Amino acid sequence: MTARRSHTLPEVVIVEPQIFRDQRGFFLETYRENAYREWGIPERFVQDNYSHSLKGVLRGLHYQLGEPQGKLVWAAQGVIFDVAVDIRKGSPTYGRWEGVLLTSDNQKQLYIPPGFAHGFCVTSECAVVMYKCTRYYAPKEERGVCWNDPKLAIEWPIRDPIMSEKDRMLPVLDNALEGDLPTYP
Phi, psi of 179, rounded to the nearest 5 degrees: -90, 10
Q: What is the pLDDT of residue 1?
A: 83
Q: Provide the mean pLDDT of the chain.
A: 96
pLDDT in tens, 13-59: 999 999 999 999 999 999 999 999 999 998 899 999 999 999 999 99
Contact assessment for residue 85 and residue 96, using Cβ atoms and an 8 Å cutoff? yes
Residue length of the chain: 185
52 contacts 127 by C-beta, under 8 angstroms: yes
Q: Is the pLDDT of residue 5 over 90?
A: yes
Helices (H) and strands (E) in the chain, counts: 2, 13
Residue ranges of alpha helices (H) inside 59-175 are 165-168
Give pTM, 2 decimals. Answer: 0.96
Tens-digit pLDDT profile for residues 127-160 = 999 999 999 999 999 999 999 999 999 999 999 9
CATH architecture designation of domain 45-177: Sandwich (2.60)
Residue-level pLDDT at 43: 85
What does the alpha-carbon distance between residue 107 and residue 74 come to, in Å, rounded to a whole number?
Answer: 7
CA–CA distance from 18 to each of 3, 28, 43, 47, 75 (Å)?
Answer: 11, 6, 22, 24, 15
- Give the distance, in angstroms, between the CA of residue 125 and the centroid of all CA atoms in the same chain: 20
Domain residue ranges in the chain: 45-177
| Active site members | 62, 131
* The pLDDT of residue 42: 80
The pLDDT > 70 percentage for the chain reads 100
Quickly count: other Cβ atoms within 10 Å of residue 157's Cβ: 12
